[in-house]
Amino acid sequence: MATRVLILGGGFGGIYAALELERHLARRSDLDVTLITRENHFLFTPMLHEVAAGDLELGTIVSPLRKLLRRVHTFVGSVDAIDLVAKRVTVSHGQDGHTHELPYDHVILALGSTTNFFDLPGVERAALTVKSLADAVRLRSRLISHLEEANGECAAGARHPLLTFVVAGGGFAGVETMGAINDFVREALAFYPNLRAEHVRMVLVTPDRLILPELGPSLGAYAQRKLAARGIEIVTGVKVRGIERDVVTLSDGRTIEATTLVWTAGSAANPLVASLPAAARGGRVPVDEYLEVPGWPGVWAVGDCALVPDVRAGGFHPPTAQHALREGRVAAHNVMATLERTVKRSFRFRTLGQLASIGRRAGVAHVFGINFSGFVAWWLWRTIYLSKLPRIEKKVRVALDWTLDLCFAKDFACVTMTRKAGDAT
C-alpha cells in the first residue's frame, strides 16, 4: 500500500513542498502525494499590487498547478477539518460542496494566515484587501470606477471623497500598494478632463514612527520622503479605528472622508489551524528544527501557520515568503528522510534581504547587509522577484509586460466582479 502524504495549502510553503516531493515521485511508485488547495493555480503574491495598478496583466502571476505538478495529485477544494488523532482530513469541493475523508500517513500544514480586522467598526464590511487575485481586480476596478464617477459633471461636489484613498498599514504590503495605486490614479488624470491633481488625496496610516520599520530608520525615512514628494500624506503613530458612512476614523480622533479603505494592517492565525490540539496560544503550530510537530509523528507545519524556531539566533523565524518556500522544501525532504530512514535536515536560514517597491521606478532594499534606494533598489526588486517567479513562460510574460509598460499608457477598463439584476445571460 502506498504511503499517503497530504499537503494542505497552495501558498509558498505548500507549493514548494509539492515541488520537492515531485522530484522524488519520479523514482518512488509507492508514494501518493496530494496537494489540497482552494485554487487550481499558484499565485505569486509579491506582485499583486502591480496587477492592481495595471502594470501586469492578470494571468502573468498565476501558474496553473496542472503545469507545475505532473506527479503530485491536485485536489481543488476546501479543508474543513483536520483530525490529528485519526490521521484524517475532511475536504469539500464541487458546486454542491460535498465532502471527502482523506486519510494520511504524513501531512504538511501550510494553510497560511487570514486577515485580522480586529473587530473594528465597519472595517471588515467596507475595506478592500490585497491578498488574492480577485482582491487585486476589485481594487483596480474600484480605482477606475471612482475616476469615472468623479469625472461626471454631476459629481462635482463629491469628487474629493471619491478620489480619497486610505491605506491602513505601513509595512511592505501597505507601502507597495499605496505607491502603485498613487501612480495609477495620477497617471490616469490625463484621460479625465474634469479631474485635476488637487482632487486626489492619498493617505497612508501607520502606527509606527516611520513606514517600513523592518528596513530600519534610514530606508524608512527615505521611502517616507519619496512618497510624500509624490503627494501622499503619511499619518504616523496612529491606527485606523473604523469606517462608517464613508468616513474613516483614526485613533487620535481625526476623521477622513473617503469612500475607499485598503486594509493591510494585520493578520491572524488560520482558525482551522488554531483549533488543533497541537496549536500554541497564538494560533500557530510549534515545530522542532526539522519542522515536525512535537508529539504528533507525521505532522509537519510550514509558513505563516507554523512557529519555526531559529536555532542560531533564538526566537522564531518570521512568516515571510522567502522563509516559507525554503521551509516547504525542508519539510518535504524530511518527510522523505523519515520514510527512507536517512538523515533529516534542520531548518537553518538567515534572511537574505528585504525589498519594497514604492512606485515610479523607485524602491528601497536591504540586501546582504547593504542598503539600496531609488532606481537601483527598484531594479533589484524586479530582478529578484522575476527570478523567483515559477516557470520560464511566466518570467517572459512578466518581462514583456514590464517592457510594454515603459512604452504605453495603462489601460483604464473597469472589470465588474458582480452581475447586476436584469443583465443578459
What pLDDT, on a 0 to 100 scale, did the predictor assign at position 155? 82
What pLDDT, on a 0 to 100 scale, did the predictor assign at position 25? 95
What pLDDT, on a 0 to 100 scale, did the predictor assign at position 349? 94
Amino acid of residue 289: E
Say which DSSP state 94 is in. Answer: T
What pLDDT, on a 0 to 100 scale, did the predictor assign at position 114? 95
What pLDDT, on a 0 to 100 scale, did the predictor assign at position 421? 45
What pLDDT, on a 0 to 100 scale, did the predictor assign at position 415? 59
Give the rounded distance of the alpha carbon of 18 from its chain centre.
19
Q: Can you identify the CATH homologous superfamily of domain 3-38+77-115+268-340?
A: FAD/NAD(P)-binding domain (3.50.50.60)
The full DSSP string for 243-303 is: EETTEEEETTS-EEE-SEEEE-S-EEE-HHHHTSTT--TTSPEE--TTSBPTTSTTEEE-G
Positions of the chain with pLDDT lower than 70, given as ranges: 413-425
Q: What is the SS3 assignment for 19?
A: helix
What pLDDT, on a 0 to 100 scale, did the predictor assign at position 422? 46
**Hey, where are the domains in the chain?**
3-38+77-115+268-340, 123-265+353-407
How far apart, in Å, are the Cα atoms of 68 and each of 71, 356, 397, 413? Answer: 9, 27, 16, 31
Residue pair 381/371 in contact by the 8 Å Cβ criterion: no
Say which DSSP state 2 is in. Answer: P
What pLDDT, on a 0 to 100 scale, did the predictor assign at position 367? 92
Q: Specify the fold of 123-265+353-407.
A: FAD/NAD(P)-binding domain (3.50.50)
What pLDDT, on a 0 to 100 scale, did the predictor assign at position 414? 62
